[in-house]
A and B are shown apart, each in its own frame.
Chain A
Amino acid sequence: MTAAEVVFALLGVVAVGSAVLVVTTRQLVHAALWLVVAFGALAGCYLVLTAEFVAWTQVLIYVGAVVVLLLFGIMLTRAPIGRVPRSGADDPLDSGNRWAALAVALATAAVLVTVLVMGFKDAYIDLEAGGGGAEPLGGSLFRTWVLPFEVLSVLLLAALVGAIVLSRTDIGARDEEDDGEGDG
């Protein structure tokens, strides 16, 4: 076991452990904060895999933006802050099919881990610094992948406009009389 493998294994344990806490904790805000830990550990995994630019993008977008957005969502939906008592069918966090979900997740994990370990047991990643910096990545992004990049910017704009339209309150559903008059 090389040093990189040890570091990666530790980061992976942190990531999976905090992910488990995200999906099992009884406090909504703690779930978002454990998500920060999971994303940070994953950024560390990317760093070990020599993907520096992706790692910092992960920190910026996931830890910086997505988690803040989720916290905003938690606050705006007036979620129960603090420990939520487990109360059977009225439990606001966990649904009743927890055991079925656990069975499905364990089956998924068993199938995926078995297949992937069998498939890649002879593959070795040759870690070599410099492959994932901003310069090579930016070069290939703006030479080879420039068309998907531009399409993605249109998608992001559409998502932005859609989110604004969805969350505005002054443009709701049209009234009955307006529908009756018909639109040309």
Chain B
Amino acid sequence: MHAAYPVVVAALLFSVGVYGVLARRNAILVLMSVELMLNAVNLNLVAFDVLWRDRLHGGQVMTLFTIVIAAAEIGLGLAIVLLVFRNRRMIEVDRLRTLTEQTAPAGEETPQEPRRPAAAAAREGDTA
């Protein structure tokens, strides 16, 4: 099999993932696009392992490691996304601009006060 096939498929998958990360606004969709990019890397690893006939199977073992790391990443990422949702009531990544510099022009007003949801308010109830 010509080596261009897996390599081209992986490159196209990676670019689709790049588009998703840049264009999507929902944080979970961004995580999905990151998974697509990781899968493109996995396909490259497997293809080059088979191409060079690695005696230690470095490429395929590395693919397994990447899959495990992707699983850990998606778990932590979703935990962070859920925490953001609990505190902000939305997970749109380009609206989470609490950490922007304050020297921004006054035209775009940013919601600075964290709207505290019911659960967190009940938990920290007496501190307010």
Contacts and interface: CB of A to CB of B under 8 A. Distances in A.
Contacts of B113: none
What is the interface of chain A mostly: helix, strand, loop, or mixed?
Answer: helix
B60 A132 contact: yes
A24 to B, nearest CB: 9
Nearest to B44: A116
Contacts of A28: 26, 28-29
B57 A140 contact: yes
B39 A4 contact: no
Contacts, number: 268
Contact of B46 (A46, A62, A120, A149): A46
Given A112-B11, A166-B83, A124 B1 contact: yes
B2 interface: yes
9 smallest A-B Cβ distances: which pairs? A101-B22, A23-B20, A105-B19, A159-B72, A109-B15, A12-B9, A101-B23, A112-B11, A123-B3
B60 A51 contact: yes
Contact of B68 (A100, A136, A156, A163): A156
B2 A95 contact: no
Contacts of A148: 65
A66 B69 CA distance: 12
A127 B68 contact: no
Given A16-B16, A54-B64, A124-B1, A132 B83 contact: no
Interface in A23-70: 23, 28, 31-32, 35, 38-39, 42, 45-46, 48-51, 53-54, 57-58, 61-62, 65-66, 69-70
Interface of A: 2, 4-5, 8-9, 12, 15-16, 19-20, 22-23, 28, 31-32, 35, 38-39, 42, 45-46, 48-51, 53-54, 57-58, 61-62, 65-66, 69-70, 72-74, 76-79, 91-98, 100-102, 104-106, 108-109, 112-113, 116-117, 120-121, 123-127, 131-132, 136-137, 140-141, 144-145, 148-149, 152, 155-156, 159-160, 162-163, 166-167, 169-170, 172-173, 175-176
B80 to A, nearest CB: 6
A123 B6 CA distance: 12
Contacts of A53: 60, 64
B115 interface: no
Interface of B: 1-9, 11-20, 22-26, 28-29, 31-33, 35-36, 39, 42-43, 46-47, 49-51, 53, 56-58, 60-61, 63-65, 67-76, 78-83, 85-86, 90-94, 119-120, 123-124, 127
B122 to A, nearest CB: 10
Contacts of A104: 18-19, 22
B47 A49 contact: yes
Contacts of B33: 22-23
Contacts of B123: 169-170, 172
Nearest to A155: B72
